[in-house]
Amino acid sequence: MGRHKIALIGAGNIGGTLAHLALTRDLGDVVLFDVVDGIPQGKALDLNQCGPIEAREGALKGTNDYADIAGADVCIVTAGVARKPGMSRDDLLGINLKVMKAVGEGIKAHAPNAFVICITNPLDAMVWALREFSGLPHNKVVGMAGVLDSARFRHFLAEEFGVAKQDVTAFVLGGHGDTMVPVVEYSTVAGIPIPDLIKMGWSTQERIDAIVQRTRSGGGEIVGLLKTGSAFYAPATSGIEMAEAYLKDQKRLLPCAAYLDGQYGQDGLYVGVPVIIGAGGVEKIVEIQLSGEAKANLQVSVDAVKELVAACQNIDESL
């Protein structure tokens, strides 16, 4: 079998970081696409010059031509505009919907067999729109948010408990936004659920509540600090984890924005839920039992996603 091909649509902060990660992890050859002339070519030249030092062979090409993504196994989409301070994810809706149309049509024409990972915000609406515009099967189009949101939650919990980050597992469900649902009872340190750790005196309910809140506004905290854009290292690392799960048929169980047709009582919508990713794309949607509170919070989150999708449909009547 030949080398895999990974197409990165959008050569901004996340796109450039994705390219570097894909090459250092030797996932395959990479094509970096952007509408701005010079940016993908310049980043590709810079990153190719890491090659001799990093002793890796993967080829990287920067381009403004969709024809170059032909036959890609994976497309990771970060094209669009990122949040500036004071801007909500929803403000991005109109601008990025047009971008999804162009990208969806590009993928449909040149890489219809790819596994597509959407990262562009507002995530849950953009992944839905990208799927509509591309016409690809629902199990081959997925959104990245939960892996990042749960990594943020795990990072804060590991700091709180003073344990290794790899020993903390965490679940975050729902839309990628202020209504996301970090599920405390399914979050553990090496299998010990957080409510038990509170009983053991490792933390208090108040402190955990504050961590949940900080996780929910985790993106905004970074936007406020950077002032010129949004987070990109952890978002790129999260996207690569999903791409790797597909390319290596790892059957990873990851929280992703996936298309629901009946699961969790939802129909025709992309929402963050646990899924299994392997060579078949989204191979299974895992329906876990949620407590009354988590269920109610998930519904609030789902309603927010529904509103965004309806707004997309108003903007573009072809949807």
Size of the site for ligand TXD (CB under 6 A): 34
Binding status of residue 87 toward ligand TXD by CB under 6 A: no
Greatest distance between any 2 Cα atoms in the chain:
58
Nearest-approach distance from CB 144 to ligand TXD, in angstroms: 5
SS3 137: coil
Q: Compare residues 219 and 281 and give the one whose CB is closer to ligand TXD.
A: 219
Q: Which residue, 148 or 189, has its beta carbon nearer to ligand TXD?
A: 148
Task: Note whether 272 and 145 are within 8 A (CB).
Answer: yes
Residue 188, beta-bridge partner list:
169, 193
CB-based contact 260:273 (threshold 8 Å): yes
Per CB under 6 A, does 10 bind ligand TXD?
A: yes
Q: Is 290 in the site for ligand TXD (CB under 6 A)?
A: no
* 208 labelled binding-site residue: no
- How far is C-alpha 314 from the chain's CA centre? 25
Residue of the chain from 28, 62, 80, 182 that contacts ligand TXD (CB under 6 A): 80
Give me the least distance between CB of 230 and ligand TXD, in Å please: 4
Are 221 and 214 a contacting pair, CB within 8 Å?
A: yes
Using Cβ positions, the residue closest to ligand TXD within the complex turns out to be 12
**Residue 120 interacts with ligand TXD (CB under 6 A): yes or no:** yes
Closer Cβ to ligand TXD, 17 or 189, answer by number:
17
Residue 255, C-beta contacts closer than 8 angstroms, at least 6 positions apart: 145, 146, 147, 149, 150, 171, 172, 173, 272, 273, 274, 275
Nearest residue to 295 via CA among 258, 261, 264, 262: 264
14 labelled ligand-binding = yes
CA torsion sign for 29, 147, 235, 266 is positive
Residue from 4, 20, 110, 176 carrying the catalytic annotation: 176
Alpha-carbon gap, residue 311 to 199, rounded angstroms: 44
119 marked as part of a ligand binding site: yes
CB-CB contact of 114 with 140 (8 Å):
yes
Q: What are phi and psi of 169, to 5 degrees?
A: -110, 145
DSSP state of 316: -
**DSSP element (H, E) containing 197:** helix 194-199
> In the bound complex, what is the minimum distance in angstroms from residue 50's beta carbon to ligand TXD?
19
123 binds ligand TXD, rule: CB under 6 A: yes
176 part of the active site:
yes
Alpha helices in 118-217 (DSSP H): 123-134, 146-161, 194-199, 205-216
Report 124-163 residues binding ligand TXD (CB under 6 A): 144-145, 148
Rounded least distance, CB 215 to ligand TXD, Å: 12
Smallest distance, Å, CB 208 to ligand TXD? 22
Active site residues: 176
Q: Which residues bind ligand TXD (CB under 6 A)?
A: 9-15, 34-36, 39, 78-80, 82-83, 96, 99, 102-103, 119-121, 123, 144-145, 148, 176, 219, 229-232, 235
Residue numbering of the annotated binding site: 10-15, 34, 83, 89, 96, 119-121, 152
Residue numbering of the annotated binding site for NAD(+): 10-15, 34, 96, 119-121
